A and B are shown apart, each in its own frame.
Chain A
Amino acid sequence: MLADDMACNHRNPKPATVFSHKNMELNVYGDDVEVDYRGYEVTVENFLRVLTGRLPPSTPRSKRLLSDDRSNILIYLTGHGGNGFLKFQDSEEISNVELADAFEQMWQKRRYNELLFIIDTCQGASMYERFYSPNIMALASSQVGEDSLSHQPDLAIGVHLMDRYTFYLLEFLEDIHPASKANMNDLFKVCPRSQCVSTPGHRTDLFQRDPGSVLITDFFGSVRKVEITTEAVNLTDPIKQVEERFLRIFQGKLQCRETCLVSDYVPGIAGPKGRALQLYIHHSDYYYVLINLLPIEFP
């Protein structure tokens, strides 16, 4: 969810780019950035709807959070905030109580396995104070009563490019590759007071595992669990497949060949009037009849 008005802003001297530093080394608005909600769609209501899953039925897949009880979710919020709230687009606020309630509803419906919440705003620690659902780990860039500061301005554009906490977090994550074994304790050490001016905080009491055993790649980098497929089904000749679809008639009674839920004992040969049933195989007392996938009307 981005307001997404910076990269293609007519004041941007390098259109379609957002750099992390004025030396223009790292373009964070690259080819693999996917924005699902932009501009006017970024509202508190939509955010809560995405989290709790209460979206109108016409919403496409890409705008839904299709997670289940085995999904790890990363939520990263940044912007202007204060004691207990975060500002959305200069017109709305989301409070820490609403956020905590939304997470509880996600937990009730088992929409997450573990949740990592990172917030980079002024007084960010106030946002995670009210959480009460299990398996949530939270990091914030500043404590209550402190301001989070931005990093360095780019005088060519005229604004500060990035906040300090985000800048140093990005620097840390750029060094993490998919096979890395770095754990959450390393993440807690990002941006100490000497670099960030504010004191970053974290909350792990709701998390069941020890943070030292949680890999960073559990939440970043989309590293999947894979298993080797050891067996394969031995597929027989396709012609034999067709035999399975026969219906069996024994002594004039129609018996269903395939798995049935309702007992299909029908007196006489059931067949819709006017549609021919092909006689295929006659074997001892059984007649095997090929039904051409047409619905049968029972008398």
Chain B
Amino acid sequence: MATAEVERRRGQLAALSIAAVVIIVGVPLWWKTTETYRAWLPVSQIRELAKLQLQLSADVEVVFARGTVTPEQQKKVPLTKTQEEDHAVDEGTTLKYRYETKYRTATIMEEDALNKPTAAEADLALHMLSESPCGSLVIYVIPESSSLLHEDVKVYVGQRRTALLRVVAQMRTAKTFEQLLDRLQPHIIQVLRIMSFSRADITAALSDRVRFHPGSKESVADSMRAFKSSPGYEITFSLLNPDPKSHRLHWDIEGAAQTYIQPLLMKMSPVANFSIDSQTLHYAMLGVNPRYDSSRSAYTLNADSLAHVINPVEARLGSNAASSNPVLNFLLYVPDSHHSPLYIQDHHKQEVPSNAFHSPRWGGIMVYNVDSSYGPEAEFPVDININMAKVMGVFLAQLRLLLGVQSSPPPPGFLVAPCGSTGLADWELDRLMWSRSVENIATATTTITSLAQLLDQIGNIVINDNIAEQVSNAVTSLQLAVAELDAGNLGFALQFSKEAILASEKAFFDPSLLHLLYFPDDQKFAIYIPLFLPMCVPILLSLLKIASEARQKRREKQAKKD
């Protein structure tokens, strides 16, 4: 009797202790070992970033030349005013445009500069006097009688950061200074829209965050043309020679790239890094047959067939295998002697003066005819030197379009100075920097917020320390970039936005973040049940037995009491 009791006691104790070990030690151990390592992410800061509030500020100086203000009005000058404009793009994104305008009169040296015979010389002379920092503008208001501008030209936009605005009749009749400023305001706003940032540009730059609903076909084409912001670009120049038997082509691409392209790329170095390479392809044909036009005694390619030219050629173009930067291809095609001269026709069957076409986000192709440089009795192969200045002029124009430098045509009455020999005006660079900063910030915020959402949704992706570090870096850089934009330091804002984008892309595209294991619930049960059920059944049964025995004993005790 006693031993049976002892045995039973021992049995109960064994069952209870096994259950205790399983629950207290086993379950936490199993939980810990099947846990995935997830480093800490600044989730609250990321959620704040989802609501983007940007402020773009530009410094504007308005300088009144002699003859534009009355002596009475002159007493009010110098004056500083700040204008703000709100722009709510959608519920998650709000923008504020801030212009801090200083009004003053011109100095004697500036007056001398404004007395130069042509607007271009005046522009150069004004630039020699003082240099405007990045992101700022100077507008010189010149009297109606000034001979600098042609009759129907109201505004001259220079190559650096200055513009000349001619006073029109309404402005002259203003009595007080405030009236004059009011009448001047819409013209100044027009100039600012061209030379710094405009709503359309900034909304297009935000296309990553905000689904862009363009109004017209032109704005669709404009938004599609330029490459997206990237830390680096590769530029490849290719010479296509389909007929090496007839033409032996020489092109000084190194010298030409160094002289004509490199200044533009150096000027754009705050925006991105560029690398240039070149190649020559022999026996490379265009995939399209040109048609012979007897009225011009030349071969023509019409605009519709141009779309099919690129694909057959592209297969043979090499590219730098090591980098994943976007590639801009510039091809120079010299037609073979049987199909020379070859001209490109536009949609209205007119000849194109540049004889070139470009494809958005890909590059450009130029057709260079050499039939005029040799006669019919020439001995083949003929040595031909290609005029690189003409070729590079076209490629530079295409490069400007593809990088997003060129803007829409200016409103009537505006004369924009042709870009200097670097190919880029200072204010165009500022515009590009504004839109690139905004684009980078928008892209980085969407990347970080969608990464955080993804990691939240999928519970068993491992988050390594390096990813957490990149995310924290990205968040910090973003906050700094937004702060610098607020303060108006365009250069620093762009730099921080580039760092933010690099860090966020590195974190998002980290190879370790691949979620491969998809386990539907029934599969999970199918894995765990064969492991845990055989072990749990005896423990559960013995616990149940102990519980029923304890209940029975209590009932007996009750019965005994009664």
Contact = CB atoms under 8 A, between A and B. Distances in A.
A241 B224 contact: no
Contact of B516 (A34, A45, A70, A108): A45
Contacts of B429: 259
A109 B321 CA distance: 23
Nearest to A255: B131
B232 interface: no
A45 B517 CA distance: 10
Interface in B479-534: 490-492, 495, 508-511, 513-516, 518
A263 B135 CA distance: 13
A229 B364 contact: yes
B509 A54 contact: yes
Interface in B256-280: 259-260, 263, 266-267, 270
Contacts of A229: 352, 354, 356-358, 364, 366, 394, 397-398, 401
A228 B509 contact: no
A235 B324 contact: no
A223 B324 CA distance: 23
B426 interface: yes
Contact of B315 (A32, A49, A68): A32
Interface size bracket, B side: 35 or more
A233 B396 contact: yes
A228 B344 contact: yes
A23 interface: no
Contact of B492 (A45, A179, A261): A261
Contacts of A235: 260, 389, 392-393, 396, 421
Contacts of A44: 516
A235 B419 CA distance: 10
Given A44-B516, A54-B510, A233 B419 contact: yes
A193 B418 CA distance: 64
Contacts of A261: 134, 270, 490-492, 495
Contacts, number: 167
A233 B428 CA distance: 15
Give the interface size class of chain A: 35 or more
Contacts of B535: none
Contacts of A236: 421
Interface stretch (A2-10, A57-65, A74-82, A270-278): A57-65
Contacts of B558: none
B324 A66 contact: yes
Contact of B362 (A224, A262, A286): A224
A112 to B, nearest CB: 14
B273 to A, nearest CB: 15
Interface stretch (A97-105, A146-154, A160-168): A97-105
A55 interface: yes
B175 to A, nearest CB: 40
Nearest to A256: B131
Interface in B449-496: 450, 454, 490-492, 495
A141 B311 CA distance: 29
A44 B515 CA distance: 11
A269 interface: no
Nearest to B310: A224
Interface string A228-248: 111111111010110010000
Interface in A67-113: 68-70, 95, 97-98, 101, 105, 108-110
A52 interface: yes
A290 B366 CA distance: 36
Interface in A173-195: 178-179
A228 B357 contact: yes
A54 B450 contact: no
A55 B454 CA distance: 18
Interface stretch (B33-41, B242-250, B301-309): B301-309
Which residue, of A34, A110, A221, A226, has the highest number of chain B Cβ atoms within 10 A?
A: A226
B322 A60 contact: yes
Contacts of B311: 221-224
A199 B35 CA distance: 46
Nearest to B490: A261
Nearest to B365: A226
B461 to A, nearest CB: 11
Interface string B315-354: 1000111111010000000000000000010100000111
Contact of B514 (A48, A64, A69): A48
Interface string A196-214: 0000000000000000000
B354 A230 contact: yes
Contacts of B92: none
A47 B459 CA distance: 22
A228 B100 CA distance: 40
A66 B321 CA distance: 12
A54 B344 contact: no
A225 to B, nearest CB: 6
A221 B208 CA distance: 28
A180 B308 CA distance: 12
A68 B394 contact: no
A69 B228 contact: yes
Contact of B224 (A34, A225, A238): A225
A60 B396 contact: no
Given A64-B324, A70-B224, A222-B311, A240 B421 contact: yes
B429 to A, nearest CB: 6
Contacts of A240: 421
Contacts of A227: 221, 225, 357-360
Contact of A179 (B266, B308, B314): B308
A159 interface: no
B133 interface: yes
Contacts of A69: 207-208, 228
A299 interface: no
A244 B516 contact: no
B158 interface: no
B418 A258 contact: no
B423 interface: yes
A109 B508 contact: yes
A286 B128 contact: yes
Contact of A241 (B306, B419, B421, B490): B421
B400 A56 contact: no
Nearest to A31: B315
A99 B358 CA distance: 36
A228 B352 contact: yes
A223 B307 CA distance: 6
A260 interface: yes
Contacts of B360: 70, 225, 227
Contacts of A241: 259-260, 263, 421-422
B454 A108 contact: yes
A260 B324 contact: no
Contacts of A232: 353-354, 356, 390, 393-394, 396-397
Given A70-B224, A259-B429, 11 more contacts: A49-B511, A61-B324, A97-B518, A101-B515, A109-B508, A232-B393, A233-B394, A233-B419, A235-B393, A240-B421, A256-B131
Q: Which 5 A-B pairs have the closest CB atoms?
A: A261-B491, A222-B311, A108-B450, A232-B393, A229-B356
25 contacts: A32-B315, A48-B516, A55-B509, A55-B511, A62-B321, A69-B207, A109-B447, A110-B208, A178-B307, A222-B311, A223-B307, A224-B362, A227-B225, A227-B357, A227-B358, A228-B344, A229-B354, A233-B418, A235-B260, A235-B396, A235-B421, A236-B421, A259-B270, A261-B270, A262-B491
Interface of A: 32, 34, 44-45, 48-49, 52-56, 60-62, 64, 66, 68-70, 95, 97-98, 101, 105, 108-110, 178-179, 221-236, 238, 240-241, 244, 255-263, 286
